[in-house]
Structure 1
Amino acid sequence: MTTTAAVPCLNRTPRADARLRLFCFHHAGGGASFFSSWAARVPSGVDVLPVQLPGREARYREPRFQDAGELVETLARDLAPCLDEGPWAAYGHSMGALVAAALATARLRAGGRGPEALFLGAYAAPHLTPTLPLPDRYEDRELARLLVDFGGMHPQFLDREDWLRVLLPIVRDDLRVCASHSRAGLPDPDDEQARLPLAVEAFAGLDDPLVDPARVRAWERYAHDFRLTLVPGGHFFPREEPGPFFGRLNRSLARLLGEPPPVAPPAAPG
């Protein structure tokens, strides 16, 4: 692939030598740093490109999105030069799964180059009753406690009012994005002809207190080629139990690269 000029939502220029670009979309309240270790965990031919949404981390001064349709429209425009250049795939975690699926749909409808595969983690299919809280349902202390309960925040920050004043507005705006999923342009799950013509692999944590695997499986109504993979861990299994998750993800990435599957490390004795 050729080297693409910098785009607003990427922290760096994509690698010119990559055989596959993996665009990664973070969870509600999160940022691109969630994927900081991924480049060292995936095949060398894959260029991991965390997508940084505005209003957090390196883009904290920029206004945040509250509407899924506006967010996807902007991402489709800003990322178009990268997506058109060569093979790409996408991974979205929690809220990021909604964003990744909507971006793939928008690209295909516009006649652009779609992803080779779509990987979705820890998010119920959007036509179901939302599992993430509604943005204004909880007071600040209640919302903070909920974030702690499913692993989205360290308990020590419950007593940091200054920190919560920064984090909670970000979380609420991201939850507004999730609540506006009907404007994201996803296929109609009741229309088999509208299903995405690509491989979709969804991941669910066996100990996820927020999202039941059966609700993740319901993504099968959005794609003709679907697989559900259950992995150890809670809502943030790529961080909590990375070994099994990356073992499965890397087998799928190797297939896209036309490489033999990676050899699993030997089991620990005993």
Structure 2
Amino acid sequence: MLKLKLFCFPYAGGSAAIYARWKSYLNMDSCIELIPIELAGRGKRISEPLNHDLEEVVEDLYQKIKSGITNGPYAFFGHSLGGLLIYELAQKIKGLNIRQPVHLFFSGKSAPDIAGPVRNKYHLMDDNEFKQEVIKLGGTPPEFFEHPELTDLFLPMLRNDFRLADTGFAQRRVIPFDCDISIFSGKEDYRISKEQVEAWKTHTRGLCAFHYFNGGHFFLHDEAVDIIRIIDNTLKFTLQQKWSTA
């Protein structure tokens, strides 16, 4: 069976490890070769300096994947900050006029042309307020911040990630992708309105599918089995439609 590379990009504060268990959810007949992507300054790249500019991050990611996108079909999955990164990365690839992804999966991310409710910039908050907002989002257990040594290591990276995530993503000009896209969203995600989710349909010249899950912004942890099932079925259909030799 033809395998399709699925590059997975983490949310703010996350690492490639968050997708490691996804591999165990793939069936033997899965079409996916799952490739978690590590950002600089965490996980296996902990010794590397953080990238402080969005363009630098996107260029760094492109350099990491460029050898893997030239010899077969591939797709991107990104949650929250990861959704912003795959948007920018896919636009960069489109501009380079090279092999484009066959599908984009945007998870926990609003469409880039619709402004959401006015809210404070997370990265500009003082440490205490920032910690409380991060805990409220649900991605980091409160107990984590009870360990000063972990907080000292983790907080600068997390704040930098949120600064990147806060970088003017809203009210962009719509530049639709040629491939189909899928949108995953938490039903109780207070940070993203229904309008912001549904606006994604204008960002493709192909099909746009919407999938809603129980939970808030970090629904992907509890709904991982269903998410990977939907991704696998979607990519199998894509392969059958475009790469079938039957």
TM (norm. structure 2) is 0.87
Task: Classify 1:181/1:81 alpha carbon distance in 2 versus 1 (closer, same or farther; 3 Å).
Answer: farther
List 4+ stretches of structure 1 deviating above 3 A. Answer: 127-133
Amino acid at match of 2:163: R
Give the structure 1 partner of residue 9 of structure 2. Answer: 25
Alignment counterpart, residue 83 of structure 1, candidates 69, 76, 84:
69
Aligned to 1:217: 198
Q: Which has the higher contact order (CA 8 A, sep 6+)?
A: 2
Q: Which residue is 2:173 aligned to?
A: 188
Report 1:113-132 matches (<5 A): 113-129=99-115
Pairing of 1:134-213 with structure 2 (within 5 A): 134-181=121-168, 188-189=173-174, 194-213=175-194
**Structure 1 residues 133 and 118: CA distance shift in structure 2, 3 A:** farther
Q: Which has the higher helix share?
A: 2
What is the SS of the residue equivalent to 2:123? coil
Shift in alpha-carbon separation, 1:117–1:247, aligned structure 2, 3 A: same
Deviates more, 1:102-111 or 1:246-255: 246-255
1:135 CA drift (Å): 4.4
CA contact (8 A) 1:197 1:224 kept: yes
Contact 2:11-2:81 within 8 A present in 1 as well: yes
Answer yes or no: is the 8 Å Cα contact 1:213–1:230 preserved in 2: no
Unaligned runs of 5+ in 2: 242-246
Instruction: Name the Cα RMSD after superposition.
Output: 2.3
Q: What residue ranges of structure 1 are gaps of 5+ in the alignment? A: 1-16, 260-270
TM-score after normalising by structure 1: 0.79
* Aligned pairs for 1:10-49 within 5 A: 19-43=3-27, 44-49=30-35
Corresponding position of 1:237: 219
Q: Structure 1 residues 79, 246: CA separation in 2 closer, same or farther (over 3 Å shift)?
A: closer
Q: Could you list the per-position Cα deviations for residues 70-117 of structure 1 after superposition, in whole angstroms to 9, with x for gaps in the alignment? A: 211222233211111110001001000011111111111111100010
Tell me what 2:244 maps to.
none
Identical aligned pairs, as a percentage?
Answer: 27
Q: CA deviation at 1:130?
A: 6.0
How far, CA to CA, are the matches of 1:140 and 1:217 in structure 2?
A: 34
Amino acid of the structure 1 residue aligned with 2:32:
V
- Equivalent residues in 2 for 1:2-17, closer than 5 Å: none
Which of the residues 258, 261, 268 maps onto 2:240?
A: 258
Select the residue among 215, 218, 228 that pairs with 1:246.
228
